[in-house]
Structure formats: C-alpha cells, structure tokens
Structure 1
C-alpha cells in the first residue's frame, strides 16, 4: 500500500482482526479455507537498511538481480545474486516494478495517496543492467500508481489506487476505452466489495486484482478482452474484512497474495481454495526466484526482505 491514509485505516482494523488470528497445504488445490500451508519455512534474507526502509515492491530482472522499491527513501535498489547492493536509483515514491517490453524495468512513481485530485504520478523505465541506470518517463497521468503487470503483448496494467486500472499500450499511450470500461466495472460490479485496488498479475487472459481493504479480503479476475466482466476468485479472510497488498503467479493455476496483517496466502484460482503462511510482519509484495518456483522473496513494511521456501 504505502500511504498515510490507508495506514490509518489499517490502524483501526488491525486490533480487531489480530484478536481473531486469521491463518489461512500440501496441495493448495485441495486446501480448505482457513488452513495453514504445510511445510513452508520463513527466514530473513536481508535486514532493512534503515528505519525508513519500507520495501513496497520487488522483482527479478533477466540477469537474476533483485530490484526493491524503497517507498519512503524515494529510490529503487538493485541487489546481485550474492545479496550485494549494486545500484540505487532515484525514483519518487516508487510502487510496483516489473520487467516489460524490450527487457526494460518499469517502475510506478508517485505511490502516495492523492484522492484523485492530482495526477503527478508516472511510470518510468530504465535499463536494469546499466552500471548506473537512468530512469526516463514512459507514461503519465496517474494519481496513485501502485500495482503493475504486463501481458504477453506488451500492454501494461497500472493499478492506480485512486483512479482504478489503467491500460497502457506499448509505447506509453493510455488505452482510454479499455480503461473506462474497467473503471466503470470497479464502481458497479457486484464482484467488487473493497476500496483502493492495489496489486496486479496477469495469467493468460485474466488480470488478477487485490484491494487494499475489502469486506472479505477479496481477489477478483478481470478478463483482458472484456474488462467489464469482473468475477470473484476468492475471499481470503471471510467473514472478516481483509487488508491485502500485492500478488504474483506461482504457476498457471496458483497465485500468492500478501497481507498487511502479516501473512502470505496461496490461492488456487480455479476453485478459490487457499492456505496461508505466517510471516510475523506486514507483507507488501512477492517475487519468485528465477531458478526455483518454490523459493519466494517477500518484501515487508519493516524493510526486511524474507525468504519463503514452499513445500514440494
């Protein structure tokens, strides 16, 4: 998430939810809601570099370097495979970052609450392999660019927590028609029961979305060819409200979702079956190790990066 308005919302909800301890398996497909994933281990990979080291998002580049958004330090960092920091790039209030068209790294900038009154947010791109990458503006006109995903054709999907989901064509132009249809669905679809869309991942023809706060910790799917037809994928905290952040795909049928209440939730998208892994701190985003789909790196609000090993 990453803004004072929703931190305040979380402060109101966390005590009630924590008192009821949501733990949401060997096989996720067969999991019953509310179960704990079996066999997962969690260790600290990298301690926060500073008291303001909030790690908003992370991803791997094509060479296996790990990139981390440091929201309140207005920078993104590159770590090599040994864990050594090899670059720090200035980016104002960075949100999600993803490899996109041409192998460049694309970073949301301006992930701060504006209630839609200002549109100073942008998406920047940079060469992730340069010794000192130089970000340039790729797309403009966002209020709070938070989540980011790309489809197989190079279209970007910027999850703007104030404006909705914005589709960006290759080259950086906004696809107004698609974006307007998605925005209308977010406002009227019965599948939506939350506020502030947050994270995004594309699997095939579907864009999966989370919400910063919803009545049931809901994940929805948006068909790329029909953004008005949103559908419910899973309610991860029902009957309680939930506070979710980013998500990623583990395979064509499974997603991993972070909770700012301190868990990582694995979801089988065909049925909505899910289980959870306790992390011990509010989690913001997940990246899958390039060489091992059972090895995840999780970012946290504390700034620590966690290694999570899933059972086979």
Structure 2
C-alpha cells in the first residue's frame, strides 16, 4: 500500500471516505464453501531484520536469483530487495544480511525480477497520486540487480499510483495501480490500452469490485489475483488474463467486516498468502475459498516466499521490520 504522511492518515483518510461514499449499497459477495477444505496452517513468527529507523516502512520485498525458473531445482536464492517508501530508496541485502546497495527511487512500491533478469520497481506509490484527475506521474523503473552500483532507468510511464506488480509467462507486466486500476504493460514498456480498459478500475464499484484502490497482484496460471486496499469484505479479485472484463471474486478475507489488505503472494497453484495492515496474514485455498487468518503482531505490507522453502516466508511491515514467517500445513 502506498503512503503519504502517517500510517493513521493513510488508513483513515481519503481512501476510507471515498469507499464509504461509493460502495455503501454494494452487496457482499459469496463466501467460501465448506467442502474439502484443508486445515488452517499453524503460524510462527520471528523478526528476521529489525526496523532500521522509526520511518523504515518496508513497503515491498523480493529476491533476485541465480538462473531462472526454467533451470529447475538448481536455482539458488540471490539478494533480498526491500523498498523503503518513506526513505525513497530500494535496498539490496546479500545472503548474510549485509546491505550492499541503496538505490534512489521516488516512493517505491513493488519490486519484482523480470524475465530478462532485470529488477523492476514501481515508483510513485503514494496516496497523493491516487485520485482521478491528478497528474499521471507514476512510473516503472528497472535496473541491473547484479551491478555494484545499480542505477534505475525508466521502463514505463503514464501511471497513477503504481503499487503491486507481476509478470505473466509471456513477459507482460501487470500493475495494480491505486489510481487507474489494473494496467497491462507490454515488453517494450507501452501500456496496453485496450486490455487495461476492460480490467477492474479504481473508484468504480460494482457487486464484484466492492472497494477501492487495487494494491497487490500475482499471476497464478492464466489468472491474476488482485487485492483491494479497502473494501467491504477484504476482497481478492480473480482477473482472467484472456478476458479481464470477466473478473470474479476469489475470496473475501475479512467478511462480513470491512478489510484493509496489502500485497499478496502465491505459495503454489492453489494457495495465496495475503498481507493485512491490521496485523495479520491470511491464507486462501483457491478451489474452496477457505480463508485462514493468523495474527503476526505487526501491520503487514508484503510477503515473499523464501526460495526453495515452500512454507517459509518473509513479510514486510509498516514499522520497517522484516518478519520470518513459518507455515506448518
């Protein structure tokens, strides 16, 4: 989730006000079925990396890697990258936890390694960029994660509040933009306008999109799963890549109460893990919509799976600490 000012202002300010005005009459979506539901995992949490400062807000995180997914089990974990939105930097840490680079980026959001091996960073992830009519100054930058001194260059422009990002198997980039909605960008850095016009939009509520500000996004097979920052039910959307107009409800994480969701990750082809800024993480079993919520003690911003460790996660927090989360399923 992007930030502008204090965390309290971010949660209780214009986003919530806009939501109340726009979706007060929207019906709550369907809930999970009770058949064939897996048991909820046990969750344990430790602090992997303390907050560097009171304003160290860890907005997003990812790993780069040696090799590619096509190389199979020989792929090894590389560096951990953390976006510090208040600090306007993206940091690189080696496997020993030593910081090896700090790259200036204005209000960084998601960090993701692309199919070309470069690291992509959302820039402009601040609520000042959220509202329609504001200048579209958001960008996606990219850089060489292996460089001794990485330098970010512009890959795509014309975005509003770029927050979450994900690549599909064809190398196209999808951006969860808190202003524009879900946006697709081709491999040349051009916005795919026809596709993006059909995708879920910000401040355009419906029976499916019962909230505002698309936030996290992940690709699972031929679908996108997208969180809404604020919604009546803590909603996660399923957006078919081949037909974004056919968006449906994947899960309601906090129903029947409203929810404050941030980024998400896919553990496997059927399991999502969602960050809640109210201090929990949620696992979702996609076939059954089974939702399990566990407290972790701090508002969570983003989640990444540790390479080669299916049930080990790192989680970013609003306070700036990085949490080590273990799921026992």
The TM-score normalised by the length of structure 2 is 0.85
Is the aligned partner of 1:87 residue 2:101? yes
Q: Distance in 2 between matches of 1:186 and 1:227?
A: 17
2:177 pairs with 1:163: no
Q: CA deviation at 1:73?
A: 0.2
- Please report how far the alpha carbon of residue 250 of structure 1 lies from its aligned counterpart in structure 2 after TM superposition: 0.2
**Ranges in structure 2 where 5+ consecutive residues have no aligned partner:** 17-34, 67-77
> Match for residue 259 of structure 2?
242
User: C-alpha deviations, 1:142-188, integer Å up to 9, x for none?
Assistant: 11101101100000001110111110001101100000111469836
Distance 1:130 1:159 in 2: 28
DSSP-derived class of the 1:180 partner: helix
Give the secondary-structure state (helix, strand or coil) at the position aligned to 1:216: coil
SS at match of 2:9: helix
State whether structure 2 residue 30 is matched by structure 1 residue 44.
no
The aligned length equals: 294
- Structure 1 distance, partners of 2:224, 2:170, is 13
Asked whether 1:264 is paired with 2:265, we answer: no
Report the CA distance shift for 1:29/1:244 in structure 2 as closer, same or farther (over 3 A): farther
In 2: Cα distance, 1:29 partner to 1:127 partner = 45
Q: Which residue of 278, 290, 294 maps to 2:307?
A: 290
1:23 corresponds in structure 2 to none
Structure 2 SS opposite 1:61: strand
Q: 1:261 Cα shift?
A: 0.2
Indicate if the aligned counterparts of 2:284 and 2:292 stay in contact, CA closer than 8 A: yes
Query: Residue 269 of structure 1: CA displacement?
Result: 1.0
Q: Quote how far apart the aligned CAs of 1:7 are.
A: 4.2
Partner SS for 1:10: helix
Q: Which residue of 2 aligns with 1:2?
A: 2
Structure 1 spans left out of the alignment, 5+ residues:
14-27
Of stretches 178-187 and 293-302 in structure 1, the one that deviates more from structure 2 is: 178-187
Distance in 2 (alpha carbons) for counterparts of 1:85 and 1:78? 6
Cα distance change on mapping 1:233 and 1:208 into 2, 3 Å: same
1:275 and 1:94 mapped to 2: Cα distance? 30
Superposed, which structure 2 residues align to 1:90-169 within 5 Å?
A: 90-113=104-127, 114=129, 115-116=131-132, 117-169=134-186
The corresponding residue for 1:17 is none
Q: 1:186 to 1:127 in 2, by over 3 A?
A: same
Cα shift readout 1:181-211 (whole Å, capped 9, x = no counterpart): 1146983642110111110000011000001
Instruction: Give how far 1:84 is off.
Output: 1.1
TM superposition score normalised by structure 1: 0.90
Mapped contact 1:217–1:244 kept (Cα < 8 A): yes
Distance in 2 between the 1:4 and 1:89 partners?
A: 20
Q: 1:252 to 1:29 in 2, by over 3 A?
A: farther
Q: Is the 8 A contact 1:147 1:200 kept in 2?
A: yes
- Tell me, yes or no, if the aligned pair for 2:182 and 2:201 is still in contact at 8 Å: no
CA distance in 2, matches of 1:256, 1:38: 11
SS at match of 1:199: strand
- Report the alpha carbon displacement of residue 8 of structure 1 after superposing the two structures with TM: 2.8
- 8 A Cα contact 2:179 2:202, kept in partner: no
> Structure 1 162/185 Cα, relative in aligned 2: closer, same or farther at 3 Å?
closer
Give 1:206's aligned residue.
Answer: 223
